[in-house]
Structure 1
Amino acid sequence: MTKRIKTHLFQLPVEEFANTLTHGVGFLLSLLGFFALVALSWIHGDPIVIFGSVVYGISLVVLYGASTVYHSVTSYR
């Protein structure tokens, strides 16, 4: 009754390169977006908006940075 699901345990080198490249672009864009978002929220002047913008921006930078590093050091099997 139950079927086994085949899992794809590894990625091809070209897939890892594409992941590294796209996540690296996401990292750079998240840096730009972080500074733009904080600058716009600073103009608004509300401390809660500034805090939320900083938390959101930092989380994007960390997410894409960590993902870029992970995909760039993943061993090719």
Structure 2
Amino acid sequence: NETENQIVANDLLACEKRKLRTLPEQRRKIYIMNRFEDKSSSEISAKLNLSRRTVENHLFISRKEIREYMKQCI
């Protein structure tokens, strides 16, 4: 059962990364920094020299797109 759960988790991660490649560069970069590097919106905005609100908008849109794509993968 644990092995099966790991396989499903790996498949979902692969699905997420496949969708990530289709996002615009800036949005993809922001999503990766937040999701995989565990950076906050404030940290990302400081690093990329963007407003926090811009970062939050990119995160909102990218999460929505990925969530819709993941529903198709399941």
Same fold (TM over 0.5): no
TM tier relative to shorter chain: 0.3 to 0.5
Greater helix content: 2
1 or 2 for the larger relative contact order (CA 8 Å, sep ≥6)? Answer: 1
